[in-house]
Structure 1
Amino acid sequence: MDRYICIHGHFYQPPRENPWLEAIELQDSASPYHDWNERITAECYSCNSASRILDTEGRILDIVSNYAGMSFNFGPTLLSWMEKYAPDVYRAILDADKKSMEWRSGHGNAIAQVYNHMIMPLANTRDKRTQIVWGIKDFEYRFQRFPEGMWLSETAVDRETLEIMAAHGIQFTLLSPHQAFRVRKIGAEKWKDVSGGRIDPTRGYVYKLPSGRIINIFFYDGPISRAVAFEKLLNRGEDFANRLLSGFSDARKQPQILHIATDGESYGHHHRHGDMSLAFALNYIESHRLAQLTNYGEYLEKHPPTHEVEIFDNTSWSCMHGIERWKSNCGCNFNVHPGWNQEWRTPLRNAFDWLRDQIVIKYERKAKEYLKDPWEARDEYITLLLKRSEENINNFFERYAIKTLNTDEIVSALALLEIQRNALLMYTSCGWFFDELSGIETIQIIQYAGRAIQLSKKVFGDSLENAFLDKLSQAKSNIPEHKDGAHLYMKFVKPAIINTKKVGVHYAVSSIFEDYPESTGIYSYSVTREDCHQAETGKMKISVGRISIRSEIIKETERLSFCVLYLGNHDFNGGVRTFFGNDEYESMKDEILTTFEKGAFSDIVRLMEKHFGMHNYSLKHLFKDEQRKIVNQVINATIEEFEETCCGLYENNRSLMGFLQQTGMSIPRTLYTAAEFTLNRNLKKALENDKNIGRIQNILYDVKRWNISVNTMDLEFLVRRKIEKAINEMHKNPSDFNMLQTIEKDLNIFLLLPFKINLWQVQNVYYDMAKIIYKEFLLKAKSGNADAIRWVEMFRQIGHKLSFNLTIVLSET
């Protein structure tokens, strides 16, 4: 068969980590998830690791990994997050690549990506090289092999980028058909103009570079890719399969590869159940032998290019003006706000370019004090980003340091490398892609600039901030209140800047509520408690202590002393300062604790000003997650009091509401609101704790009777997590028949609810159990074991409720 199909997904999210904490803080807009990475993982990345193929009645026939059937790349910064916060999905992605190597002649489906989605033609040569080196080394660390191909951010390309990729061993990349200029058969003299997207996308091409090297280029099918991304082609899997097959032509006599490329988020996040359409299409094409599924590496080996190509430099797949979207007001925008412009793009990039170049001068001069080759060391710094262990750090400096560095010199060298990392991160493409300067993506990249400036002042001794702000002020916001880039920096970036004292404040204030161990981690910092004394009287509490804080990024350590006075509710008064010695610390501690024991609380505030200055801190200085946690504790009593009042109002007037309803009179809004709150609260508590179906049915009867709006999102999330926990426990201990009964009973309850439960994870665990554990119990059941017979029957009942086609799923048994 000379017809091949390859579907490529570019899976990527803009970095969302706080540059100082190296973690994503709570994002309310992603509720009920913690943040958008977590939400999109649930909606897309996890779904594609275990996608459903359904029968005509909507029952599950099979669960498959789309990653094992498609070509894909993941942004390194996204995989870094996933490795820590979604390890099961992360492992499934790596395993799928290994499986694809077995199926595709030793060629894996995964390809690399330039590190942090920088627009490569707009980068200088040195930054291009680092982006490619980091992308390759990140890939090798995760997939345990060298990448054959590499994805370019926004497919933005120029000759120099391809030259560097080829020099580092990359064999191919993917581009849009509109980026092709002309083609000719290898060895021929005459070129054919294919501009305007007229290139034949069903073959690979050789691009000959000035150095004499070559790189292969695949130009994806534009119309079908657009249909997937924007024309709802994923609404039906069979339509998707047929549209893919329509890209072949009997007029072509050579082997054909029909391939498309879109954002991977199309398959589940942008298009709900898009992963299932993809799974169906791949299975339909393969099972009906309509074409061979392949990946680019395998196809290159089987069918080396017969034609060469030349491209248009400085072009991309998402800007009709080339790469202007990332540097000028080219007209590419979402047009949500008529009258807005993107004139801010040029001065923003100019400000960043200035900052980068100033840092380069200072970096080269200072780094030579510690490093043999500062730029080679930067390229190899990725090894520490992947694993910041003491062993790795020691090995790194053994290789690249000009001498044995002492502790302070290691801190300075790491700070220099971190300046460079943040200078790269500030060029992440998302900051220019959208319409407004004050958008979260743009603020994010300005924060990276802020982090680079902060570290520069620490290492170089002078600040670049004022000059940077002067240039940033030329970038004007479309929103009058936001003014310009300098205003946004002072409003959003400056307050977000974190140092060890702010970490100390967070520890000190939260220690009133949090029972910290002697050593604890606070995001990218480790805190060791050297001494702490607490006292309380009534609602008032006080905490006085001494701590050591270490940055796990640059390994800098600072000792601090602190005092926090909690006056009840959300009223705090706290102070933190550099530790100046035991005598001074002990004197401060004794004076404040003695005053507290006397009840002279106003004197404590005066003493705190004496010992810590006028820099007082409160709940608002906590990092967002801990702040939310403590505020919830503080207001819990008030909320409980309100809840009881509200529930009493409903229960005392329930019969009156019934009478009003029977007589056709409207129910007062106050009573309806009380009913809505009470029934949602009661339903939540019943689903959490109550196994009484009758009670839940009574609550749901009232919900329907009063036409109450159920808090679907929160309740679904609660129910889902509950049954996921139960089935995971059953998977660990499958012989626990009581747990099996509990799950079956919970499913009966959930079927009564007026909303659908996402049982995706539950179905995955059941499917895994069906392949091995079920067979073991079935074998025992066939031998007459009564317990096994009960187990098998209950397992089948659960499978029926989970919408499996048991005839197929359990057929192998």
Structure 2
Amino acid sequence: MDRYICIHGHFYQPPRENPWLEAIELQDSALPYHDWNERITSECYSRNAASRILDGDGRIKEIVSNYTRISFNFGPTLLSWMEKYAPGIYQAILDADRKSREWRSGHGNAIAQVYNHIIMPLANTRDKRTQIIWGIRDFEHRFQRFPEGMWLSETAVDLETLDIMAEQGIQFTLLSPHQALRVRKIGSEKWKDVSGGRIDPTRGYLCKLPSGRAIYIFFYDGPISRAIAFEKLLNGGEHFAHRLLSGFSDTRKWPQILHVATDGESYGHHHRHGDMSLAFALHYIESRGLARLTNYGEYLEKNPPVHEVEVLSNSSWSCVHGIERWKGNCGCNSGGHPEWNQEWRTPIRNAFDWLRDQMVIKYEQKAKKYLKDPWRARDEYITLLLNRSADQVHQYFERHTVNALGTEEIICMLELLEIQRNALLMYTSCGWFFDELSGIETLQTIQYAGRAIQLSEKIFGYSIENTFLEKLSQAKSNIAEQKDGAHLYEKFVKPAMIDTKKVGVHYAVSSIFEDYPERTRIYCFTVTREDYHREEAGRIKIAVGRVSIRSEIIKETERLSFCVLHLGNHDFSGGVCAFPGDDAYQSMRDEMMASFEKGAFAVMVRLMDKHFGMHNYSLKHLFKDEQRKIVHQVIRSTIDEFEETYRSMYENNRILMRFLQETGMPIPSVFRTAAEFTLNQDLKKACAEEKGLNRIQGILHDMKKWDIPVDALDHEFALRRLIEALMDELQERPSDFSLLQRIERKLHLFLALPFEINLWHVQNVYYEMAKTIYKTFLPKAKYGDPDTVRWIELFKQIGYKLFFNVPAMLPDASDEHFHARGTE
């Protein structure tokens, strides 16, 4: 009997973008990475694109893409981030789907997802349709094909959602076994009760819908899926393989599909090396012919369902109470604070529902004057989310407007559509999933509400914020100082709101330290310099100018003038205002520059008030990334002074420290602090400058002697970036033997360090070079070319230091001479 295995990974992250900047700002909790998307990409998404299969000695014998062998979906909002910030991994995911179509009878491994992970049964009909349409269009844009299947957020389901999916052409979805009610053979009248997770998960089912449409449903194997996510099944690849195979039964007389579904982050982020367990298990099963790997589309084509099913509406995979987790205090939470309650969930949803309905009324009233069908226009707004170029905007409005629109009308329509987009984003499920109202996920959804309110008040000219805050105040935090939803809105959302003037402030202050080109991009704004003057007098600097700032989202442009005075360190004073006209601007510029040349800085501060009124800004008004960058520049000289002091203290007191240690007396903490700072700085410089193994070992010896901790996190990240840059350079210039030597020396040094360097990217580059560039060197080596022979030998030595099974991987690499040298 045929046996098929299909592993599904649901890869998704909550949207983390600042709604006003359309970008993720620095997140310190993700250090040493910029943000959590970047960190999880490193730990999981990239790993599954190039996972290691090891030999019996723990050396790499093969690097494979798990995405080519499993079914998967990626959240559209996550893929949008990856396309810009992790383009190599993004492309590897698209390539894997393309490869899987070659292997799986034309059926790709990727399936779509409802757009921004809302709980579909809690959405109104209009929002359900938009979520499904946007998910499909986003998938088509990226994978260049129509999706056969679609993932439902939290597998939360109702019949209307299934019907809209079927209406839009989706063939199948995945559910938990606990979401099945009863089954029967197609054509039979007798139903069998399978509630409580008793459905047989090894085949597909037909679900007939009230409209007359139908959709196929697969119910994943619950026990094995739970073992992957929560029971450490990923601790060993062979054990994982046998557990998968245990789901088959000889008593079944049909082609069985053993399939599981978990968060994709299980494979590398939640479980370190989980991607390798997955890769090994699939290799183990496939290489031994124990089952055929497949995806759902291929299995459906070969094995059309012969049973139909009825599903449990308003159910999900992560709430035993159905969908209560996203609207009430059902008891489901993360478990970290059992004393907390989640009563806040209901008033948050009620406030959002009220806001959404208000936006519906306003949107219809305004948009119907210009758009043929306002809701169809919203459904197709995804085309602009994927490509906001001028041509796309023009084509979009040509399709949807009653008459040709002027510039201001286009801006208004884009603002209306952005209100609708943010009203959808505020329902992202993560806002209700966790324990506390003030958690970052819930605050993110409230920010989307804030953006929608800001745009609404701009267009319609009257406030709905106060009523929204009244409703939000009913949501009470478990943390006394966080009070309630209205307090959190005032504390976190209002300060985050951005207008064009704040972009102007950012440009003005940062221009003191950075030479911008005539046109530059600051997040989702384009800033064009019209006039700019900067002068310095010692440590004091001034910048005066005018710019035009264009939002690439709503296409609105505003002209601003500014003046910023830097008095040293973090002391800034700046003013920004709407461009007052050529004469007024010229007068302001001349007054400011004249006062600066006279050194009349107190006068300049008064002039700021005269020309800019209350629009005074400082370093704290910069966006977080640039603010951090400038602060580091400002304090660099101070840090250098501290380093000199610490170094002097350490060097001048080493003999005293040794005496204190030998006599058993405690070393003063100030001496130990000086030693820790100095030795860690010395270690970083020695590794970066290739000072030699003896120098590094000497520093490590001193650190051990004084019981000084190695700053492993900081050192590892810096050294990893260094070796990665060298390896990327080698791939571009493979014949550069001196570069090859530098890399070999670096790796030799790394082996002496008391912490592990993450060599994942370096190994990937080496593996690619071994498959391509290395082979081009072999013919010359066979003819005895000495330079080529020398290159090949050193390349192999690097392979050993990167933990590859070199003899098994490289042609002609089984030579005992190379093997012996590589393991010295």
Partner residue, 1:482: 482
How far apart, in 2, do the equivalents of 1:661 and 1:56 lie? 46
Question: Given the alignment of the two structures, is residue 466 of structure 1 paired with residue 499 of structure 2, yes or no?
Answer: no
Please list the CA deviations of residues 397-448 of structure 1 after superposition, one character each: whole Å capped at 9, or x if unmatched: 1111111111111111111110000000000000000011100000000000
Please list the CA deviations of residues 719-748 of structure 1 after superposition, one character each: whole Å capped at 9, or x if unmatched: 111111111111111111111111111111
Please list the CA deviations of residues 208-231 of structure 1 after superposition, one character each: whole Å capped at 9, or x if unmatched: 011211100000000000000000
Partner residue, 2:286: 286
How far apart, in 1, do the equivalents of 2:601 and 2:763 lie? 58
Partner-residue secondary structure (3-state), 1:521: strand
Which residues in structure 2 correspond to 1:672-683 (within 5 Å)? 672-683=672-683
Which residues in structure 2 correspond to 1:124-273 (within 5 Å)? 124-273=124-273
The normalised TM-score by structure 1 is 0.99
Shift of 1:811: 4.3
- 1:378 aligned partner, one-letter code: R
Partner-residue secondary structure (3-state), 2:447: helix
Shift of 1:544: 1.1
Partner-residue secondary structure (3-state), 2:617: coil
Shift of 1:666: 3.0
- 1:799 aligned partner, one-letter code: G
Please list the CA deviations of residues 732-770 of structure 1 after superposition, one character each: whole Å capped at 9, or x if unmatched: 111111111111111111111110111110000000011
Question: Given the alignment of the two structures, is residue 355 of structure 1 paired with residue 355 of structure 2, yes or no?
Answer: yes
| Greater alpha carbon shift after TM alignment, 518-527 vs 537-546 | 537-546
Shift of 1:482: 1.0
Please list the CA deviations of residues 355-400 of structure 1 after superposition, one character each: whole Å capped at 9, or x if unmatched: 0000000101101122111111111110110111111111111111
Please list the CA deviations of residues 611-658 of structure 1 after superposition, one character each: whole Å capped at 9, or x if unmatched: 100231101100000000111111111111011100111111122222
Shift of 1:57: 0.8
| Greater alpha carbon shift after TM alignment, 683-692 vs 36-45 | 683-692
How far apart, in 1, do the equivalents of 2:724 and 2:769 lie? 14
- 1:226 aligned partner, one-letter code: R
- 2:207 aligned partner, one-letter code: Y
Partner-residue secondary structure (3-state), 1:709: coil
Gapped regions of structure 1 (runs ≥ 5): none
The normalised TM-score by structure 2 is 0.98
* % same residue: 76
| Greater alpha carbon shift after TM alignment, 345-354 vs 680-689 | 680-689
Which residues in structure 2 correspond to 1:365-376 (within 5 Å)? 365-376=365-376
Gapped regions of structure 2 (runs ≥ 5): 814-824
How far apart, in 1, do the equivalents of 2:408 and 2:264 lie? 44
Shift of 1:659: 2.9
Q: Would you identify which runs of 4 or more consecutive aligned residues in structure 1 move more than 6 Å?
A: none
Partner-residue secondary structure (3-state), 1:533: strand
- 1:269 aligned partner, one-letter code: H
How far apart, in 2, do the equivalents of 1:747 and 1:488 lie? 49
How far apart, in 1, do the equivalents of 2:594 and 2:714 lie? 47
- 1:690 aligned partner, one-letter code: E
The answer on whether the counterparts of 2:690 and 2:746 sit within 8 Å (CA) in structure 1 is no
Partner-residue secondary structure (3-state), 1:10: strand
Shift of 1:536: 2.0
Partner residue, 1:492: 492
Partner residue, 1:28: 28
Partner residue, 2:610: 610
Shift of 1:812: 8.1
Partner residue, 1:650: 650
Question: Given the alignment of the two structures, is residue 451 of structure 1 paired with residue 440 of structure 2, yes or no?
Answer: no
Shift of 1:605: 0.9
- 1:315 aligned partner, one-letter code: S
How far apart, in 1, do the equivalents of 2:489 and 2:465 lie? 10
Question: Given the alignment of the two structures, is residue 536 of structure 1 paired with residue 536 of structure 2, yes or no?
Answer: yes
- 1:808 aligned partner, one-letter code: A
Partner-residue secondary structure (3-state), 1:7: strand
Partner residue, 2:728: 728
- 1:79 aligned partner, one-letter code: L
Partner residue, 1:328: 328
Question: Given the alignment of the two structures, is residue 417 of structure 1 paired with residue 417 of structure 2, yes or no?
Answer: yes
How far apart, in 2, do the equivalents of 1:200 and 1:251 lie? 12
How far apart, in 1, do the equivalents of 2:486 and 2:812 lie? 66
Question: Given the alignment of the two structures, is residue 698 of structure 1 paired with residue 677 of structure 2, yes or no?
Answer: no
Partner residue, 1:714: 714
Partner residue, 2:296: 296
Q: Structure 2 vs 1, CA of residues 117 and 812 (structure 1 numbering), >3 Å: closer, same or farther? A: farther
Question: Given the alignment of the two structures, is residue 568 of structure 1 paired with residue 568 of structure 2, yes or no?
Answer: yes
What count of residue pairs does the alignment treat as equivalent? 813
The answer on whether the counterparts of 2:47 and 2:275 sit within 8 Å (CA) in structure 1 is yes
- 2:332 aligned partner, one-letter code: C
RMSD: 1.0
Please list the CA deviations of residues 474-512 of structure 1 after superposition, one character each: whole Å capped at 9, or x if unmatched: 111111111111111001000100000110111111111
How far apart, in 2, do the equivalents of 1:336 and 1:583 lie? 62
The answer on whether the counterparts of 2:693 and 2:752 sit within 8 Å (CA) in structure 1 is no
How far apart, in 1, do the equivalents of 2:665 and 2:779 lie? 64
Shift of 1:279: 0.1
Please list the CA deviations of residues 189-222 of structure 1 after superposition, one character each: whole Å capped at 9, or x if unmatched: 1000000000000000000011211100000000
The answer on whether the counterparts of 2:526 and 2:549 sit within 8 Å (CA) in structure 1 is yes
How far apart, in 1, do the equivalents of 2:129 and 2:480 lie? 40
Please list the CA deviations of residues 12-42 of structure 1 after superposition, one character each: whole Å capped at 9, or x if unmatched: 0000000000000000010000000000000
Shift of 1:310: 0.1
- 2:204 aligned partner, one-letter code: G
How far apart, in 1, do the equivalents of 2:309 and 2:690 lie? 68
- 1:125 aligned partner, one-letter code: T
Shift of 1:336: 1.8
The answer on whether the counterparts of 2:730 and 2:740 sit within 8 Å (CA) in structure 1 is yes
Partner residue, 1:74: 74
Shift of 1:238: 0.6
Partner residue, 2:516: 516
Partner residue, 1:435: 435
- 2:557 aligned partner, one-letter code: T
Partner-residue secondary structure (3-state), 1:63: strand
| Greater alpha carbon shift after TM alignment, 263-272 vs 509-518 | 509-518
How far apart, in 2, do the equivalents of 1:244 and 1:811 lie? 35
Partner-residue secondary structure (3-state), 2:575: strand
Partner residue, 1:56: 56
Please list the CA deviations of residues 271-319 of structure 1 after superposition, one character each: whole Å capped at 9, or x if unmatched: 0000000000000000011100000000000000010000110000000
How far apart, in 2, do the equivalents of 1:409 and 1:54 lie? 61
- 2:441 aligned partner, one-letter code: E
- 1:239 aligned partner, one-letter code: H
How far apart, in 2, do the equivalents of 1:257 and 1:321 lie? 29
The answer on whether the counterparts of 2:577 and 2:615 sit within 8 Å (CA) in structure 1 is no
Question: Given the alignment of the two structures, is residue 755 of structure 1 paired with residue 755 of structure 2, yes or no?
Answer: yes
How far apart, in 1, do the equivalents of 2:428 and 2:138 lie? 17
